Amino acid sequence: MTRLLPEWFVERINPVPDEDDLPVSTLELFFDLIFVFTVAQFTAIIAHDPLIGLLQTVLMFGFLWWMYAGYSWLTNVIPPERPARRILLLIAMAGWLVIALTIPAAFHGGGGIWIAVGLLVVVLVHGLMYLQAARAFGAVFIANLAAVASVFAAEIGPEGLWRYVFWGLASAIVWSVPIWHGQRGLRLHPAHITERHGLVVIVALGESVVAIGIGAAGLPIDADLLVAAVLGLAIGACMWWSLFVHDLPATEHALTTTMDAVKRVRKVLAGLSYAFIPVLIGILVTAAGLKKAVGHATEPLDLPASLLLSGGVALFLLGTAGLRFSMPLPGPWQRVALAAAVLVAAPLGLVNTALQLGAIVIVLVAGLEIERRVARSALKPALSE
């Protein structure tokens, strides 16, 4: 397939030799901001209709996250250091912007076909660039194109069940790839791939703060607003702490010490691709809950809003448990137990919003402190030796 590409194209994006230290470029950070705008569109969908919105989010996010992760892999092996590569990434960013703007119309209304056009641009740029680094990517490229065809079928067809089926098919196609593709011929830099996935979580957590601001628009500055806002920020801080203080540094170490390239790729797939789906959707769900909670700290929440708050945080924690299982890192079941404890706090929102928010913060702080003490106790015998 690469023989069909123009010679000038191959020469300009030919991958550089392997490097131990591959820093994340500012263009990649710019790229992440465009993608998170794409992700942020789902918060409004979930907040508008928690049940149907969450179903639509899961179906669309499955394919979109696969392609974002694909771009983090792409720049991992082909750094955007040359003008041609940068231009191609900017073209891909335009595709992501089209996708983001058309997400609200994907399941109803006109204009949904443009999301398929945006995805086609994103998939073509990604595939043509990646083929220069790994011939083994050809089969994956074909699967990605098949998934785009499924999205075109969804958007050309009638609204309703038809679109749900074909969006689900698109996600199923791409996420089946690791089952039949042996991952041979793919190589990744541990520090870079870990940092890229961490950065998109950081920016997504920033989206939860933006949700607080959106929820506060036009409201009076009083205890109802400020208490819910500060507690919402505290929840976001605990989510950050749970992932970034120990889990991601340990993940980078686990990947670095995995010498076999295929095993390393499979760990990235399981821990940073699959497990990060609940991590990111959990942030979106939490942001949707915070949007409803801000300005109503002294009032009760309705059941959907209280479930969004606790369910989003719990989903995030389950994703971090999946990361720990896949690396493997110690304490995955601690995160499962912590997620269950957060869910128990959901009924408190039916009594008082601040009560539920405060309970979630207390549960998270207590759980993270217990984790810290358990980890320190486990280190003592090793240090004494």
pLDDT the model gives residue 346: 95
- Shared-domain flag, residues 218 and 175: no
- Segment 70-83 shows an average pLDDT of 89
Instruction: Check pLDDT > 80 for residue 4.
Output: no
- Tell me the range of 19-28, 170-179, 202-211 where mean pLDDT is highest: 170-179
Instruction: Check pLDDT > 50 for residue 211.
Output: yes
Domain boundary among 137, 165, 180: 180
Whether 192 maps to a domain, the answer reads no
- Shared-domain flag, residues 162 and 219: no
Name the token pair of 264: 């390393």
What does the alpha-carbon distance between residue 366 and residue 314 come to, in Å, rounded to a whole number?
15
Whether 46 maps to a domain, the answer reads yes
pLDDT the model gives residue 213: 75
Domain boundary among 180, 199, 228: 180
The DSSP-derived string for 118-137 is HHHHHHHHHHHHHTTT-GGG
- Shared-domain flag, residues 146 and 109: yes
Residues 6+ apart with CB under 8 A from 206: 36
Name the token pair of 220: 């009076």
Name the token pair of 130: 């990646």
DSSP 380: H
pLDDT the model gives residue 313: 96
The amino acid at residue 104 is P
pLDDT the model gives residue 125: 95
- Shared-domain flag, residues 120 and 237: no
Task: State pLDDT tens for residues 245-259.
Answer: 989 999 999 999 998
- Shared-domain flag, residues 173 and 113: yes
Give the position of tokens 């710019």: 30
- Shared-domain flag, residues 166 and 212: no
Task: Give me the number of domains the chain comprises.
Answer: 2
Whether 117 maps to a domain, the answer reads yes
- Shared-domain flag, residues 72 and 161: yes
- Shared-domain flag, residues 155 and 116: yes
Instruction: Pick the more confident residue, 158 or 347.
Output: 347
Whether 203 maps to a domain, the answer reads no
pLDDT the model gives residue 375: 81
Instruction: Check pLDDT > 70 for residue 301.
Output: yes
For 222-241, letters b (16+ CB in 10 Å) and e give: eebbebbbebbebbbebbeb
pLDDT the model gives residue 228: 86
- Segment 284-288 shows an average pLDDT of 91
- Shared-domain flag, residues 104 and 234: no
- Shared-domain flag, residues 104 and 170: yes
Whether 25 maps to a domain, the answer reads yes
What does the alpha-carbon distance between residue 104 and residue 158 come to, in Å, rounded to a whole number?
16
- Shared-domain flag, residues 218 and 176: no
User: Residue 9, CB half-sphere, CA atoms under 13 Å: how many?
Assistant: 13
Whether 189 maps to a domain, the answer reads no
Instruction: Check pLDDT > 50 for residue 7.
Output: no
- Shared-domain flag, residues 7 and 95: yes
pLDDT the model gives residue 85: 92
Q: Which domain holds residue 144?
A: 2-180
Instruction: Pick the more confident residue, 147 or 227.
Output: 147
Maximum distance among all alpha carbons in the chain? 68
pLDDT the model gives residue 182: 67
Domain boundary among 180, 197, 220: 180
- Contact in structure between 131 and 78 (CB atoms under 8 Å): no
